[in-house]
Structure 1
Amino acid sequence: MKILQGLSVLLTLLCASCSAPQSPKVQPNPVIADINGLVIINNTQADITEVRLTIAESARQVNVSRVLPMSEFATVFQAKEYRGRPAKLTWRQGGVGHVSLGLIFSTPREVYEGEQLRAFLTIGSEGKVRAEAK
């Protein structure tokens, strides 16, 4: 009798372990894309000044003194790995300081090995920011 109970418990444990969902193996900070340029788009009717983009957990930052209304600023640089870390964007507009925290650059579904993308930050009205890499 005890043997049957032991086998029953063992069978139950084996079945439970088979049906338990497996947690996916997540690599810390996977490389999402290589970024080799930045475009800041001012979709507002006023100058944007003192623009600073900082990537979290790194010393990387870009500073731009001024982006005219309804125009853009663009620069290129040696490709850097972007691992999906959040970015912080600060700027001034009309004498008022703005901060956008936790920006994550959306990337295309498939990025091919060796493909280099540009990061786009679009600043709109009321301090709204869209971040994407393409």
Structure 2
Amino acid sequence: MQFQMPSRPLILGLTTLPLLLGGCATSAFAPAPKINTVILANNTETTIHDVTIRVEAFGGKFYCGTIPPQTQCSTRFPAREYEANPVTVSWQQQGVSHETAPFTVPTAEQLSETPLAARLTVMPGKQVDAQLEPQ
């Protein structure tokens, strides 16, 4: 068995490999977005009551007693990594109880250096729109 010194192109290739791998690792391990605000908005024509967001994974709950039409309520908390845990939203409207099936708030397309807000909007037709947005 003979050992030969690698040729110049091989050395050049070996020195650029860590740069390529480093670039891949950086994009693969991008930090998860952080969240520190929940906004519950009422985009209907009537007042909603007893609005609750539940995060079953860790027993979290956010509650707003009354949200008049076209207004919102919100809360802030210490920034935490957004984990996309399923949530359910329940509310009363004109004496009728409503509750969503569990869903996740989609991750923002553009990551932000600052914590994001989760906006959950009760829409006409008993639908809830959800998104992460910059503050």
Q: Same fold by TM-score, threshold 0.5 exceeded?
A: yes
Mapped to 1, the partners of 2:85 and 2:94 lie a distance apart of 30
Q: Which runs of 4+ in 1 moved over 6 A?
A: none
Q: Over residues 20-48 of structure 1, what are the superposed CA-to-partner deviations in whole Å (9 max), with x where a residue is unaligned?
A: xxxxxxxxxxx742111111110111111
Change (3 A) 1:102 1:32: farther
Mapped to 2, the partners of 1:32 and 1:65 lie a distance apart of 32
- Is 2:68 the counterpart of 1:82? no
Mark the runs of 5 or more structure 1 residues left unpaired by the alignment.
1-30
Mapped to 2, the partners of 1:32 and 1:60 lie a distance apart of 20
Percent identity of paired positions between Structure 1 and Structure 2: 25
- TM-score (ref. length: structure 2): 0.70
- TM-score (ref. length: structure 1): 0.70
* 8 A contact 1:86–1:101 mirrored in 2: no
Mark the runs of 5 or more structure 2 residues left unpaired by the alignment.
1-30
- Aligned positions, number: 103
- Which amino acid in 2 is paired with 1:65? G
RMSD: 1.6
SS of residue matched to 1:103: coil
* 8 A contact 2:84–2:107 mirrored in 1: no
